[in-house]
Chains A and B, each alone.
Chain A
């Protein structure tokens, strides 16, 4: 089935099997390998991307379900800066400044989930951040600094 998906502002038209997962479309067809596959069972959140602006786990979405829709991955996040300036997205900067990553495997999904969280709750409490990121696992268990990073963005310029 031929589908067209906008990934980070670039239109990708491709003939795919209906059973192709969105994460495979992103990695193997669009060639963007920043989105990681972790558990592959919609538990760990490593594959989190934005589908029409909302965080979803791309291992549990069929590529055909995203036909005609807009996907943002970690590679395209910087371009969504509200001020339009060059450089990383404020959430990426905060993860760097707060040392919110260790091995880094969960980081792309964690950042995408965090941006979506603040879209829905602009000024969350610490508890809301922890609950809001319950769909993303960090096996280095570096959660404290991840929460700090999200709170830093919530309190600062977005």
Chain B
């Protein structure tokens, strides 16, 4: 299987990449590691007429300590995030979620910015970003830079609030040093997407909880968080895990089973994060 023919551009700077996006608008797609985009192009679910390969913009591959948060370059590959000591110390939930992505070959190529821009509700990263209260810095040629909070990033099925002319430059993760966390992923086969997954991060006064593959978008389990803030125990709060969500039914699970999984996995995640 090969993709539909396209025009290939390999800019040598972010500015050049942004100019190409400005020129081609929604006809163009950014190619980072290519492990979400290329499979879709091969299946001809995506057929951009222009592919802008930013994979070699190595100045966007970094993990920096910027005070009360980590700054991670958008083109940092999953493998580099997974094993980075700063991520392990200050955002171990992100390291764990990253380690569950695909398989080693995929993690050698895929990038954090690419995975978030792909906005897959079944992906592992979006839930971690939501639970950690992170944000992304995006830039365009005309509009300059803006910051999108995780809660405002995911807008629909494989849709984000990024404009076609915008590119994610950096991911910012507030430090959660020494606070309890847990990542749960339930699937039937190695390397698969989660049938349901949970990111749980303890914060002052409770926890932030986000679910994988329980809604058309990656989503916070707001009812669970509110119950915990009101003093509910983990088991009681976890019963609310599917509230307000519209999970889909597929070959792996029906709606009832998915909702059951969400409750069980949320309870396990909360308890493993140290919430009774």
Contact = CB atoms under 8 A, between A and B. Distances in A.
Interface of A: 1, 17-21, 24, 40-43, 45, 48, 51, 54-57, 59-62, 64-65, 113, 116-117, 120, 131-132, 134-136
A55 B53 contact: no
B39 interface: yes
Nearest to B55: A65
Interface residues of B, number: 30
A143 to B, nearest CB: 11
B105 A48 contact: yes
Contacts of A1: 8
Interface string B55-82: 1000000000000000000000001000
B35 A64 contact: no
Nearest to A24: B2
Interface core residue of B2, B55, B79 (most chain A CB under 10 Å) = B2
A61 B34 contact: yes
B19 interface: no
Given A19-B3, A21-B2, A55 B104 contact: yes
B5 A17 contact: yes
B191 interface: yes
B5 to A, nearest CB: 6
B236 to A, nearest CB: 34
A2 B3 CA distance: 19
B109 A113 contact: no
23 contacts: A18-B6, A19-B41, A24-B2, A41-B1, A41-B42, A42-B38, A42-B39, A42-B105, A45-B105, A51-B108, A55-B105, A55-B108, A60-B34, A60-B35, A60-B38, A62-B38, A64-B10, A65-B55, A117-B104, A132-B104, A134-B191, A135-B102, A135-B103
B251 interface: no
Contacts of A18: 5-8, 51
A37 to B, nearest CB: 10
B103 A134 contact: yes
A64 B53 contact: yes
A59 B105 CA distance: 11
Contacts of B43: 41
Interface string B25-37: 0000001001100
Contacts of A134: 103-104, 190-191
Interface core residue of A48, A55, A65 (most chain B CB under 10 Å) = A65
Nearest to B109: A56
B106 A135 contact: yes
A121 to B, nearest CB: 10
B105 A135 contact: yes
A41 B8 contact: no
B4 A57 contact: no
Contacts of B2: 19-21, 24
A115 B118 CA distance: 31
B5 A19 contact: yes
A59 B35 CA distance: 10
B103 A40 contact: no
Contact of A42 (B4, B35, B190): B35
A43 B191 contact: yes
A110 B55 CA distance: 26
A105 B102 CA distance: 22
Contacts of A41: 1, 39, 42-43
B105 A19 contact: no
Given A20-B2, A40-B42, A42-B35, A64 B106 contact: no
B106 A57 contact: yes
B47 to A, nearest CB: 10
A61 B109 contact: yes
Nearest to B83: A120
Contacts of A61: 34, 38, 109
Please provide the 7 A-B residue pairs with the shortest distance between their CB atoms, ordered closest to farther: A135-B103, A18-B8, A134-B190, A54-B108, A19-B3, A135-B105, A57-B105
